[in-house]
Amino acid sequence: MYETIRARDCRTDQAQTPATGGGSERGVAMTDHRLDRRDLLKTAGAGILAAGASGVAQATDEDDAETEDATEIQDWHDLDAVREDVDGDYVLVADLESGTDGYEQHVGDPEEGWEPIILFDGTFDGNENETVDLVIDRPTESAVGLFGSTNNAIIKNIGLTNVDVTGEHFVGGLVGANGNTVRNAYVEGKVTGDDLVGGLVGENDGDVLDSYAMGELSGRIEFGGLIGENREDATVENSHADVTIEGGGPIGGLIGKNNGTVTQSFATGDVLCNHSGLGGRVGGLIGRNSGDVTDSYATGEVTMSVSRWFVGGLVGNHRSGQITRCFATGDVSGEDRGAGGFAGRNSADIVKSYATGNVDGEEEVGGLVGSNSAEVTKSYAIGEVTGDLNVGGLIGDNSGYVSKSFATGLTFGTIRVGGVIGENDSGDVTDSYWDTESTERDDGIGNGDGNVTGLSTAEMQGESSANTMDDFDFDERWDIQTDPDDHPSLAKPETA
């Protein structure tokens, strides 16, 4: 799927994807997703991380069959009539814009803008067309979007641009509450609500595939750049968000609260929590996670500007499920407890993952994880770490299991500071390392015991690492980095 991950080159202003070829490559720049949107709807969806592209999947023969006998939608009058038969099959045959017949009657003139279509149970094929200038201004209503809610519907091959959508609960640019499938769809614009707010979908109880959102998003709780809440058994795959997000928490660059499955997806927008007295749990990808996340990443800066807990480059609070082969590159800043380059708090499993961003916090501050009570294995952090109490190059406060991991970032702190872990309170730490020179730490663990080894930069880089870091499996799990010499990197998933 992707070749060796070279972390240091992710520390740039440009989002990166893992390299697709040449084991010694440091990564390839992410394809600019501001391409012609119609081309994106035609792009084969081979997997975002695999292809290094941000397009959506090509329509299939099955899609063509589904819309063969569909009712054609040519203008806003036709679109409004969908609410009269929510079980029907429809195909959009032209762009709908502010100059298209019916816009003033259904969008422009009504004080509240477009009236969302609710309980849609049919098929809607956008046919690679766009809906432009959608306006909805219903700040006290629930189930707000082009489609307010869907049951067993399929919505596909549709783009919405220059949207301005406002609701209260279950708010999304395309769908407020999704009950089945959204595929090959995108939204660009501004979405605002109170809770369960997403750039594309407010609440997802189905599948969101090969889709994206771009623009601005604001809300109070449980909102994300793509989806506000991804429910249990729901799936997000091969999708992304480039959305600037501001509000309370949980907030995520992609998903605010995840209880389902996320794979091959990413977020690039900056995330800011600036509401005191609300939530916390802020992440570059996911705010609060209780599901499996695989082959995904986040690159935006993540900031908690108020005194709330748990902020992370990828996940604010990882409660359950497993995170595997993921990374975060954005800088992280917190004002209270639990700030980590990857996760603010970890209560589950983090495997084969890493963080490269700098981390600045107060208590429980780590280059990878702020506070860990579960398992962290075969992972690393290289960013600078600054805090006051319980500060570690890898983990700030640990009461869980840490194994076969390392840290190299400059680490500053006042009380209980370590190159690997700040405070190890009854945790089990084995076979892990820190760079004594680059971290500027003589102690691997600030307070507590564990099997950690401090090495010089020369000992941890190039061919030397295979000899000095002998607890690592360089045949399958890790790769030696030479030309130039560097710290080890995670091996490609085919052999890991």
What are 302-323's pLDDT values in tens digits? 998 766 779 999 999 999 999 9
- What percent of the chain is modeled with pLDDT above 70? 84
DSSP state of 107: I
pLDDT digits (tens, 9 = 90+) for 200-246: 999 999 999 999 999 999 888 899 999 999 999 999 999 999 999 98
Band the pLDDT of 39: cuts 50, 70, 90. Answer: low
What's the confidence (pLDDT) of residue 62? 53
DSSP state of 458: H
What's the confidence (pLDDT) of residue 57? 44
Question: Is residue 409 within 8 Å of 428, Cβ to Cβ?
Answer: no
What's the confidence (pLDDT) of residue 66? 59
Mean predicted confidence (pLDDT) in 293-304 = 96
Please state, in angstroms and rounded to a whole number, the distance separating the CA atoms of residues 250 and 272. 11
Please state, in angstroms and rounded to a whole number, the distance separating the CA atoms of residues 311 and 305. 10
What's the confidence (pLDDT) of residue 31? 31
Predicted model pTM: 0.89
pLDDT digits (tens, 9 = 90+) for 113-146: 999 999 999 999 999 999 999 999 999 999 999 9
SS3 at position 29: strand
Could you tell me where the DSSP H helices lie in 99-244? 103
Angle made by CA atoms 363, 367, 370, in degrees to the nearest 5 = 35
Rg of the chain taking only CA atoms, in angstroms: 23
Question: Is residue 466 within 8 Å of 449, Cβ to Cβ?
Answer: no
* 52 pLDDT more than 90: no
What's the confidence (pLDDT) of residue 493? 64
What's the confidence (pLDDT) of residue 280? 72
Angle made by CA atoms 441, 304, 368, in degrees to the nearest 5 = 35
Question: Is residue 351 within 8 Å of 323, Cβ to Cβ?
Answer: yes
What's the confidence (pLDDT) of residue 220? 85
pLDDT digits (tens, 9 = 90+) for 159-175: 999 999 999 999 999 99
Mean predicted confidence (pLDDT) in 402-424 = 98
CA atoms within 13 A on the CB side of 316: 36
What's the confidence (pLDDT) of residue 5? 30
State the chain's mean pLDDT as an integer. 88
- What percent of the chain is modeled with pLDDT above 90? 79
What's the confidence (pLDDT) of residue 304? 84
* 14 pLDDT more than 60: no
Band the pLDDT of 248: cuts 50, 70, 90. Answer: confident
Band the pLDDT of 68: cuts 50, 70, 90. Answer: confident
* 41 pLDDT more than 80: no
Mean predicted confidence (pLDDT) in 196-202 = 97
Lowest mean pLDDT among 66-70, 72-76, 316-320, 463-467: 66-70
What's the confidence (pLDDT) of residue 309? 79
Question: In one letter, which amino acid is 24?
Answer: S
Question: In one letter, which amino acid is 57?
Answer: A
* 450 pLDDT more than 50: yes
What's the confidence (pLDDT) of residue 219? 84
Band the pLDDT of 7: cuts 50, 70, 90. Answer: very low
Mean predicted confidence (pLDDT) in 249-274 = 95
What's the confidence (pLDDT) of residue 64? 53
Question: Is residue 273 within 8 Å of 302, Cβ to Cβ?
Answer: no
pLDDT higher at 449 or 62: 449
What's the confidence (pLDDT) of residue 82? 98
Lowest mean pLDDT among 3-12, 112-121, 367-376, 462-471: 3-12
Band the pLDDT of 9: cuts 50, 70, 90. Answer: very low
What's the confidence (pLDDT) of residue 307? 67
What's the confidence (pLDDT) of residue 54? 35
Q: Which of 150, 146, 74 is nearest to 107 (CA)?
A: 146
